Amino acid sequence: MVANIERLERNWAEPGRLVTAIATVDHKKIGVRYLVTASVFFVLAGLEAVALRAQLATPNERLLSPEAYDQLFSMHGITMIFLFVTPMLSGFGNYLVPLQIGSRDMAFPRLNAFGYWVFLASGLFIYSSLVLGRAPDAGWFNYVPLSSGSHGVNIDFYGLGLIFLGISTTAGAINFIVTIFRMRAPGMSLNRIPLFCWAVLATSFSIVFAIPSLSADCLLLELSRKWGYHFFDKATGGDPLLWQHLFWIFGHPDVYIIFLPAVGIVSSIVPVFSQRRMVAYNLVALATMATGFLGFGVWVHHMFAVGLPQVTMTFFAAASMAIAIPSGIQIFAWIATIIGGTPVLRTPFLFIVGFIVVFVIGGLSGVMFAVIPFDQQVTDSYFVVAHFHYVLFGGAVFPILAGIHYWLPKISGRMFSERVGVASFWLVFVGFNLTFFPMHISGLLGMPRRVYTYPDHMGWNVLNLLSTIGGVVLACGILVIIVNILWSTRFGAAAGDDPWNANTLEWSTTSPPPHYNFATIPVVRSADPNWDRRDREEDQRRLERGELVLADGHETVATSEVDAELEHVLRMPGDSPWPLLLAIALTVFFVGLISSSNVTAWIGVAAVVIALGGWHFPWTSDEEVLA
Amino acid sequence: MLAHSGPVGTIDTLWWVMFVGSAIVFAVVVALLAVGLLRRRAIPPEQRRRPGPGTTFVVIAGVVVPTIVLVALFVLTVDALPKTSPALGTTRLAVDVVGREWFWDVSYPSNGARTANEIHIPVGVPVDIRVTSADVIHSLWVPELNRKIDVIPGQTNHVVFDARSRGVFRGQCAEFCGLQHAHMALYVVAEPKAKFDEWLARMAAPAPPPANADLERGQQVLLSSACEYCHRIAGTNATGTIGPDLTHLASRLSLAAATIPNTRGYLAGWILDPQHIKPGNRMPATNLSGPELQSLLDYLESLH
C-alpha cells in the first residue's frame, strides 16, 4: 500500500513552482485560479455598483458624469454576468466535478488550462478599456443601433471581448460534458450522479447551444462597425431587432447557465446540513435538465415591448410560465429534505436559507414578467432591476457564498471563523434586501433603469437613498467575508477530511486533496457514496490489494455513459506550456483587431497556428513521462 | 401605480392579483422552511440514507398546484391583452411621435400641428400614438396612461392613450439611448375636448409675427445665429429639423425634454450653457451679448 502511494506521489509530483505556474493542468489548481480571478472581478464590479449607488443617492447628483455613469453601469453588468458568475461557477465545476465523480482529472486537462488562460486574457482585454477610459457604454445587452452607430473603440471592446471569452466558456462546457459522461467512478450510474454535477451538465449543454448565438451576434456587430456591413439597418434590408433576438436567444438561457450550477450547490449543501438524503432526487435531476431545455423557449419575454404580434407573445408567455414549474420542484424538494432532516444552522446553510427566501421572491416577480401587459408596464424600470438582482444575486451569489464557506475547508484544509461567518451572513442578507427591495417600488412608481440621475419630487428620493445605504451594508458584508476567508487560509483550525459529515466523494479524500485526488479509484453504489461507510472501507482494502490504484502514470478510468461500467484505463496528458502560449497568441490577434492593426492581427494568426502545431506535435517527452 | 386610464386600470388589477397571490405563496414557503428549521429532532444515522417521505409532497406543491395557478394566470393574461393594446379601429385621433436623441418630436397628421416634448389629448377619446425613431431605439412610457412601447427606427409601433380624467402626466424614455437617456421626458396633457381643439388649432398656426421693434430684434438674433440650422419656427426662415420645433415654445410646460421648467431664467441659462444642464446633448453653447439675449428671450416668450 505504501509502495503504491509512493509511486502515485512520484508520478503526480509537480515540477518547480515556475513550471507549475505556467504549465499545470491540475483541475484543482485551475479551479482555484478560476475562483480567485472571478472573485477579483466580483469585487471590481461591486465597487462599480457602489459608485453607481452613490450617484443615485440623491436627485440631480453630479458625482459622476453621464459618460462615466454609462461606462460604469455597462461594465458592472458585463463583469457580473460574463467575468464573475459564469467563471466562478466554472471554478466550482473544475475543482469539484472530478472529485465528486471519483476521477483524477477532467477529460481534456490541457483544454481546461487553455480555458482558464483565455478567460484571464479576455477579462484583462475587456478591463483594459476601463483603464483607457473607453469602456463599453451601451449596457450589457448593448442594443443596436446605439451600439452599432457609435464612434470610438468602447463597443469594440464589448464585441471582440465577448467573442474572445466565448472560446473559453465553450471549451470548458465541452470538457464538462465529456468528463461527466465518461469519467465517473465505476458504479456511479446516471441516477447516482451528484446533483451539482447534473447541474453542471445541464449548464454545459446550454452553453454549447447558447454561446454561438452571442458570438454570431457580436460578429455581425463588429462586421457592421469595422467593415461597413448593414445587418441591423432597416434602410438597407437589415433589422435592429435581429440583434435583440440573437442576443436573448443567448441571454435567457444564460440566466439558467448562471442559476443552474448555483442550485446545484444548493442541492449539495441541503442534504448535508439536514443530515438526510435528498428528497425526490430523480425529479430534481429531471427538473435541472428541463430548466436548461425550456430556457431556450422563452427569450421573447425580454422583447414584449418591441411591437411583436400578440399571438407570438402569447406563446412565449406560456413557455415563460412553464419554466416556473421545475424551479418549484427544486424549492419544495429542498424544503421537504429540510423538514425530514435534522438541520444544523452553520454558515454555509445560513446562506442557503437566505437563498431560498430571496429566490422565492425573485421567482414570484419573475412569473409576473410572463404576464404580457404587466411586463410591458414594468420592463426597463427599476422593478426589473429589483427582480433580476433577486434572481441573480439571490439565486446565484447566495449559493456561491454558501459554496465558498462549504468547500473552503476542503480546498485550503482550514476552517473559517463561524462567528464571523454568521455575522457576514446577516450583513449580506440585510444589506441585499435593503438595496434591492425598494427598487420594486421605485420601478412601480415609474423610475426607468439606466438613468444617471432623476428629478426631485418624483417620490423616488427616499427609496433611492435606502438602496444606497443598503449597498454600503452589503459591501461591508462582502468585505467581512473576504477577511474571514483570507484569515482562515493562514490561521484557521485544521478542518480534517470531512468536517460536515457530507455525502459526496470529495469528502472521502484528504483536505486539500492530493494531486491524484484518490489513492484508489472509488467504487460507488449509491447517490450518497460518502455515507456508505462499508464501501469506503472497501476502497481502503482495494488500495491494500493494489486494485484500481493505477500508479503507472497520470492514469484514471473511463466508464460507460449510463451505467458507469469500467471500460478503459486512461492515460492523461501532463503539464504543458502550450495552452498558455495559444492563449497569448489569441490575445495578440484580438489586440490587433481592437487597435485596427492588420499587421498585429496577422502576427496573431501566425502565432495561433504555431501554438496549435506545438500543442499537437508528438513530443517524445510526453511518452517518456507516461512510461 | 395610479390608474388614470382603462389600460393602466387593467394592469393595476393584474398587479394586485399577482401581489396577493405571491404574498400567499411566499408566506407558505417561509412557514414550511421555518417548520423545518425550528423543529428539532434527532434522526438515527442509519435512517439518513433513506429518503424522507416527501416525493408526493414535491409533486403536489411543486407541479400540481403551480400548474393550476399558472393556467389561471395565463387566462388572465390573454384576457388582459386586448384591454391594454386595443384594436386600432377604435381610435379617433392619431398623433405621430418621433424619438430623437434626446427629445420627442410630436405632430398631429389631422392638421399638421407640430410641437415637442408635449402631447395633448382630449379626455375620454382613445388616441392612437404612432411612434418611430430617427436614430436609436427609445421607449415611450407614460406610466399613468399605458404600458410602454419601444420606439424603433424603420418601424412604426402603436400605443393607445385613453385618459379617464384631465391632468398632466409625466412620461419618460425607458430604453437606454445614450448620454442623456435620463433627461428624455415629456408631458401628456389630457384636457376637455373643447380646450384640446382650441390648442390643436393654435399649434397648427404659424408663429405670431413680431409685434414690436424689440421682438423684431429678437427674431433677427435667432435668424442670424446658429439657432435656425436646427430649429424650426413656422412662418419664418428657421426650418431646421435637428432640434425641437419652437413655433409655440412659450405655450409649453417645460424645456429640454421636461428637464427644466419653461421660465425666462431657465430659458436664458439653457441658451447660454445647455451643456451644463444636459451634458452631451446636441445643442452648442451660444455667445450672445446681454441685449441680444434679452431680445431673443422676449421673442421666444412671445411664441404662444
Instruction: Choose among A66, A278, A357: nearest Cβ to B179.
Output: A66
**Residue A352's closest chain B neighbor by CA?**
B33
Query: Tell me, what amino acid is at B252?
Result: R
DSSP single-letter state for residue A190: G
Examine the predicted complex and report whether its ipTM is higher than 0.90: yes
Retrieve residue B154's grid coordinates: 424603420
Partner-chain contact A318 B49, CB within 8 Å: no
**pLDDT per residue over A30-82, tens digit each?**
999 999 999 999 999 999 999 999 999 999 999 999 999 999 999 999 999 99
Neighbours of B260 (CB within 10 A): 18
Q: Following DSSP, what letter does each residue of A131-171 receive, concatenated?
A: HTT----STTTT-TTTTTS--SSHHHHHHHHHHHHHHHHHH
Q: Could you tell me the pLDDT band of residue B45, with boundaries at 50, 70 and 90?
A: low
Q: Which residues of B touch A331 (CB under 8 A)?
A: 29, 62
Q: Calculate mean pLDDT across residues A541-566.
A: 92
The Cα-based distances of A22 to A16, A83, A94, B2 in angstroms read 10, 21, 18, 61
Retrieve residue A544's grid coordinates: 491494500
**Residue B45's closest chain A neighbor by CA?**
A275
The Cα-based distances of A61 to A65, A66, A421, A496, B180 in angstroms read 10, 11, 36, 53, 14
Cα A143-A146-A151 angle, rounded to 5 deg: 130
- Whole-number pLDDT of residue A409: 97
Q: Which residues of A340-370 are buried (b: 16+ CB within 10 A; e: fewer)?
A: bbebeebbbbbbbbbbbbbbbbbbbbbbbbb
**Residue B101's closest chain A neighbor by CA?**
A146
- Whole-number pLDDT of residue A552: 87
Q: Which residues of B touch A458 (CB under 8 A)?
A: 170
d(CA A542, CA A557): 15
Instruction: Choose among B43, B176, B279: nearest Cβ to A342.
Output: B43
Q: Could you tell me the pLDDT band of residue A619, with boundaries at 50, 70 and 90?
A: confident
| Alpha helices, DSSP H, located in A341-452 | 347-368, 372-378, 382-392, 398-412, 418-444
Q: How many CB pairs under 8 A join A and B?
A: 256
pLDDT at A419 over 70: yes
The model's pTM is 0.95
Partner-chain contact A531 B1, CB within 8 Å: no
Least confident stretch, A187-201, A471-485, B80-94, B278-292: B80-94
Q: Which residues of B touch A328 (CB under 8 A)?
A: 61-63, 66
- Which superfamily does CATH assign the domain made up of A2-344+496-626 to? Cytochrome c oxidase-like, subunit I domain (1.20.210.10)
Retrieve residue A320's grid coordinates: 415563460
Contact A305, A257 (CB under 8 A): no
DSSP single-letter state for residue B302: T
Q: Which of A204, A302, A297 is nearest to A247 (CA)?
A: A302
Neighbours of A5 (CB within 10 A): 16
Q: Which residues of A touch B77 (CB under 8 A)?
A: 314, 317, 370-373
First to last CA, chain B: 34
pLDDT at A621 over 70: no
d(CA A333, CA B158): 45
Spacing of C-alpha A587 from chain mean position: 22
Torsion angle defined by CA atoms of residues B228, B229, B235 and B236, in that order, rounded to the nearest 10 degrees: 50
How do the domains of chain A map onto residue ranges? Answer: 2-344+496-626
DSSP single-letter state for residue B164: S
- Whole-number pLDDT of residue B90: 81
- Whole-number pLDDT of residue B19: 96
Retrieve residue A565's grid coordinates: 461500467
Give the residue carrying C-alpha cell 429566490.
A359
Q: Which residues of B touch A532 (CB under 8 A)?
A: 49
A280: closest CA of chain B, how far (Å) = 5
Mutate to test the interface with B, among A248, A355, A377, A456 (most CBs of B within 10 A): A377
Q: Could you tell me the pLDDT band of residue B2, with boundaries at 50, 70 and 90?
A: low
Q: Calculate mean pLDDT across residues A444-470.
A: 96
Q: Calculate mean pLDDT across residues A593-609.
A: 96
**Residue A282's closest chain B neighbor by CA?**
B55
**Strand ranges inside chain B, DSSP E:** 93-100, 103-108, 113-116, 118-122, 127-133, 138-141, 149-151, 157-161, 167-173, 185-191, 254-255, 260-261
Retrieve residue B123's grid coordinates: 379626455
Neighbours of A312 (CB within 10 A): 12
Q: Following DSSP, what letter does each residue of A246-301 receive, concatenated?
A: HHHHHHHHHHHHHHHHHHHHHHHHHHHHHTSPPTTHHHHHHHHHHHHHHGGG-GGG
Q: Calculate mean pLDDT across residues A208-229.
A: 95
Instruction: Choose among B57, B137, B172: nearest Cβ to A336.
Output: B57
Q: Could you tell me the pLDDT band of residue B48, with boundaries at 50, 70 and 90?
A: low
d(CA A509, CA B7): 62
Average pLDDT, chain B: 93
**pLDDT per residue over B133-147, tens digit each?**
999 999 999 999 999
Instruction: Choose among A143, A338, A373: nearest Cβ to B33.
Output: A338
Give the residue carrying C-alpha cell 408596464.
A377
pLDDT at B163 over 80: yes
